[in-house]
Amino acid sequence: MFEFAEAAVEAAIAAGARYADARVIDRRHESMGARNGEVEELSQEASVGIGVRALIGSGWGFYSTADLTPDSSRQAGTQAAAIARASASVAGLDLELTPVEVRQDSWRNAVAEDPMSVPLAEKGDLLVAATRTLKEHGADVALAGYDIWDTTKWLVSSEGHRIDQHVVECGAQLNATANGESETQRRSYPGIRGQYGTRGWELVRELDLAGNAARIAEEARELLTAPTCPSHEAIDLIIGSEQMALQIHESVGHAVELDRILGWEAAFAGTSWLDLSQIGSLRFGSDLMNVTADATLPGALGSFGYDDEGTPAHPVDIVRDGTWVGVLSGRDSAALAGLGSSGGAVRGDGYNRLPMVRMTNVGLLPGQSSLEEMIAATDDGILMDTNRSWSIDDKRLNFQFGCEIGWEIKNGKRGRMIKNPTYTGIGPRFWGSLDMLGNESEWTFWGTPNCGKGQPQQIGHTGHPSVPCRFRGVRVGVTG
């Protein structure tokens, strides 16, 4: 496949690009869904194609095609350069790229059990058993599903990169919906988006979907008669690690994307409340807050060997002891911001999407407390977990998140279950109230397989190492 990418890059340079790269991507995706004890959907998708990126002046031109021949690859390169040149009528300053070591390399993630090789019948039996158990234990609608992606990429750049990577990702989830008189309640396991990683089928086996189905269904039904989360202007809030993954993703991960900070996403995804002049000095949270973006974490969903610009995966400090110190960046955004090198965070969603800044594994480093210690240390509070709704403003500052389930905490003990728990806050104020942080034994590499960004829309796979946390004085129970 390298020969197609090389032909495209040569053509783009010949057509006037001062830099070009091309990715041939062969991706297989398999998904199955079961509903109420029956397999309802099975889809297997295979796509292959080439995407070429050419830089002329201040803008990228990108052309992609599913036709993979030497001629079509050369045409794709020529087209990419022509598209970039067309941007010159509304041009800015020339875009530069930070330097990166040129490598020729291969990379693949560790997989104990190839998920594509597990018999379909066995995978179906797993989902059927889980949804039957959900139904038997009170779910009105019982769903379970898995997804597998098997992706091979070949990258060639005009600077000499020649890198192939094979990435296998998979994961699964189940959820139970219980219908009441005038409402529905849902419980998901292990989270609203399931659990995904750069791992093989062993990840799905470890989830033990069937073993958790009864509890999940019973909780969904119990929520129908649970009291509604009370409204408090300020209360201690303990958040489980799955919801914390969402909290990190939305209020930290997106906020530190350098393309947003530079205004490149202003009209759609939005900008950021962060100002580059404050990097290294701005207080993002309490001293307990340490966040990294680390694409080298084995098995995490945002891991890879090289990003789509050929920058080797490496850890980047984002928040250190509560101070904002780093961003998610690529070669162009890093150069514009005056950073010395790319953060290695540029990826595209398949051959037909322009690579852009995406989260890698953006997560909290663990602290010293266990969840039980947090509960025991709380006189009057609320515990929430499993994301249900998420909404945040275009600067990534004001958020309101809802969870599937909550519990009151009174005098250091977990009390009655509550439904429809929500909390709201302002990013740095909220993170500044962090006073207890889960320990390493509770550190979970959550995977989000559906992060939307860009125009045309791209779906990114991101990882979020996370632990339970306690926050002080949080507004909860916002109702409509």
Partner 1 sequence: MSDELLDVCERVLSRVGEAEAEVTITSGTDALTRFATSFIHQNVTDAARRIHLRVAIDGRVAESVGNQTDDEALDRLVRSGLDAARLRPVDPGWPGLAPPASAPSIEHWDDATAAAAPADRAERIGAFVSAAGDLETAGFCSTVGETVAFANSAGQRVAGRTSVAILDGIARTGTSDGSGRAASVRLGDLDGNSVGREAIRRARESADATDLEPGRHEVVLSPSCVVNLLGFLAIYGFNGRAVDEGRSFAHLGEAQFDSSISLADDVAHPLAVGIGFDAEGTPKRRVELVLDGVTSGLVHDRRTAKALGAESTGHAIAGAGPWGAMPANLVLEAGAVSPDDLIAGVERGLLVTDFWYTRILDPRTQVVTGLTRNGVWMIEDGRIVRPVTNLRFTQSFLEALGPGQVCGVGSDLTLVGGASFGVGAWVVPSLHLASWNFTGGARG
Report the length, in residues, of the chain. 480
Residue 420 contacts partner 1 per CB under 8 A = yes
Which x/- pattern over 50-79 shows residues binding partner 1 (rule: CB under 8 A)? Answer: --------xxxxxxxxxx-----------x
Judged by beta carbon, residue 131 or residue 361, the one nearer partner 1 is 131
Judged by beta carbon, residue 246 or residue 325, the one nearer partner 1 is 246
Residue 42 contacts partner 1 per CB under 8 A = yes
Residue 102 contacts partner 1 per CB under 8 A = no
Q: Of 99, 101, 267, 275, which one interacts with partner 1 (CB under 8 A)?
A: 267
Of the listed pieces 308-316, 348-356, 407-415, 459-467, which binds partner 1 according to CB under 8 A? 348-356
10 Å Cβ neighbour count for 424? 16
Of the listed pieces 212-220, 337-345, 352-360, 366-374, which binds partner 1 according to CB under 8 A? 352-360
Q: Of 8, 39, 246, 365, which one interacts with partner 1 (CB under 8 A)?
A: 39
Beta-bridge partners for 469: 239, 437
The residues in 171-200 that bind partner 1, with binding defined as CB under 8 A, are 177, 179, 182-184
Judged by beta carbon, residue 35 or residue 161, the one nearer partner 1 is 35
Residue 417 contacts partner 1 per CB under 8 A = no
Give strand ranges (E) for 111-181.
Answer: 141-157, 162-179
CB 167 within 8 Å of CB 151 = yes
Which x/- pattern over 355-384 shows residues binding partner 1 (rule: CB under 8 A)? Answer: -x----------------------------
Judged by beta carbon, residue 90 or residue 379, the one nearer partner 1 is 90
**Nearest-CA neighbor of 469 among 188, 247, 254?**
247
Place of tokens 């020339």: 94
Q: Of 105, 212, 215, 390, which one interacts with partner 1 (CB under 8 A)?
A: 390
* Smallest separation (angstroms) from partner 1 to the CB of 376: 30
Residue 234 contacts partner 1 per CB under 8 A = no
Q: Of 253, 402, 463, 468, which one interacts with partner 1 (CB under 8 A)?
A: 402
10 Å Cβ neighbour count for 96? 13
* Smallest separation (angstroms) from partner 1 to the CB of 377: 26
Residue 94 contacts partner 1 per CB under 8 A = no
Q: How distant, in Å, are the alpha carbons of 99, 102, 296 from that of 310?
A: 11, 8, 14
Judged by beta carbon, residue 127 or residue 313, the one nearer partner 1 is 127
* Smallest separation (angstroms) from partner 1 to the CB of 294: 27
Using the CB atoms, write b or e for 127-143: b if 16+ within 10 Å. Answer: bbbbbbbbbebbbbbbb
10 Å Cβ neighbour count for 151? 19
Of the listed pieces 84-92, 103-111, 296-304, 441-449, which binds partner 1 according to CB under 8 A? 84-92
Q: Of 154, 264, 284, 423, which one interacts with partner 1 (CB under 8 A)?
A: 264
Contacts 24+ apart (CB under 8 A), 450-455: 450/193, 451/249, 451/358, 451/359, 453/265, 453/269, 453/356, 453/358, 454/265, 454/268, 454/269, 454/353, 454/354, 454/356, 455/268
Residue 431 contacts partner 1 per CB under 8 A = no
The residues in 110-129 that bind partner 1, with binding defined as CB under 8 A, are 119-121, 124, 128
The residues in 197-226 that bind partner 1, with binding defined as CB under 8 A, are none
Judged by beta carbon, residue 194 or residue 270, the one nearer partner 1 is 270
* Smallest separation (angstroms) from partner 1 to the CB of 129: 13
**Nearest-CA neighbor of 173 among 155, 188, 158?**
188
Using the CB atoms, write b or e for 296-305: b if 16+ within 10 Å. Answer: ebebbbbbbb
Residue 338 contacts partner 1 per CB under 8 A = no
Q: What angle do CA 92, 94, 98 make, to 5 degrees?
A: 130
Report the distance separating Cα 271 and Cα 249, nearest Å.
15
* Smallest separation (angstroms) from partner 1 to the CB of 457: 7
Residues contacting residue 165 through CB under 8 Å, at least 6 positions apart: 106, 107, 108, 151, 152, 153, 155, 304, 305, 306
Of the listed pieces 13-21, 256-264, 321-329, 374-382, which binds partner 1 according to CB under 8 A? 256-264
- Residue 470 corresponds to which tokens in the numbers above? 């306690």
Q: Of 143, 163, 213, 467, which one interacts with partner 1 (CB under 8 A)?
A: 143
Q: How distant, in Å, are the alpha carbons of 258, 414, 420 from that of 410?
A: 42, 7, 19
SS3 321: coil
Beta-bridge partners for 35: 38, 143
Judged by beta carbon, residue 424 or residue 439, the one nearer partner 1 is 424
* Smallest separation (angstroms) from partner 1 to the CB of 47: 5
